[in-house]
A and B are shown apart, each in its own frame.
Chain A
Amino acid sequence: DGGITQSPKYLFRKEGQNVTLSCEQNLNHDAMYWYRQDPGQGLRLIYYSQIVNDFQKGDIAEGYSVSREKKESFPLTVTSAQKNPTAFYLCATRTGVTDTQYFGPGTRLTVL
């Protein structure tokens, strides 16, 4: 079954704990992206990676970190420095051929 997997669907953490959100793809796409979506709001870009072992900050990178050690995987860590981490997090990919982005199903993070 091809596509983008984000796990888990729902995640709960206590305030002050770091948490890592998973994003895996078997589409062989080069670029991967992380977005944050707050209720009733649009998408805000956190980080993106166009190739393995390289990534760039997006508009709201503070309090987040990423790694891109494999083409298939782009995990996002929400650190305790992120002031208001409760949100819906979306991962996306893009081929190197077109600029169409494809999205995973999302992870809803709630910090208690």
Chain B
Amino acid sequence: GNSVTQMEGPVTLSEEAFLTINCTYTATGYPSLFWYVQYPGEGLQLLLKATKADDKGSNKGFEATYRKETTSFHLEKGSVQVSDSAVYFCALGGNTPLVFGKGTRLSVIA
């Protein structure tokens, strides 16, 4: 069945560092791919999405490209801020409920 694997955390970075959180997937067909962010004590917020191969989703300086050849959707940001500290979830779409990765906790220190 469909599944998502994302890198284990926690990830700790200094402010202004480059961020990559890896996400790979297994799926039949060509599902949409998502990144969600969860701040402490809150629900998940949609960060970005891509609906087909080679699409790039972007929002708030974060980017991810739907790579069909490597079945990946890695999240990147060029310069992280303390306010980016949160848990990030990669997810796989389709006609059933989204399939989520286990989440990666990011801590950014000043």
Contact = CB atoms under 8 A, between A and B. Distances in A.
Interface of A: 4, 6, 33, 40-43, 45, 48, 58, 90, 92, 98-106, 108
Nearest to A107: B43
Given A99-B32, A100-B34, A100-B49, A45 B97 contact: yes
Given A106-B42, A106-B43, A99 B93 contact: yes
Contact of A90 (B31, B32, B43): B43
Interface residues of B, number: 23
A42 B105 CA distance: 11
Contacts of A104: 43
A19 to B, nearest CB: 19
A78 B51 CA distance: 35
A48 to B, nearest CB: 5
Contact of B98 (A6, A40, A99, A105): A99
Given A101-B46, A101-B91, 7 more contacts: A6-B43, A40-B105, A41-B102, A99-B94, A99-B98, A103-B43, A103-B45
Contacts of A103: 36, 43-45
Contacts of B94: 99
B70 interface: no
A108 B91 CA distance: 23
5 closest cross-chain pairs (CB), A and B: A99-B93, A103-B43, A42-B102, A103-B44, A105-B43
Contacts of A40: 105
A40 B97 CA distance: 21
Contact of B100 (A4, A43, A99, A102): A43
B100 A42 contact: yes
B63 to A, nearest CB: 18
Interface in B29-84: 31-32, 34, 36, 41-46, 49
A73 B36 CA distance: 24
Nearest to A102: B46
Contact of A42 (B43, B49, B101): B101
Contacts of B46: 100-102
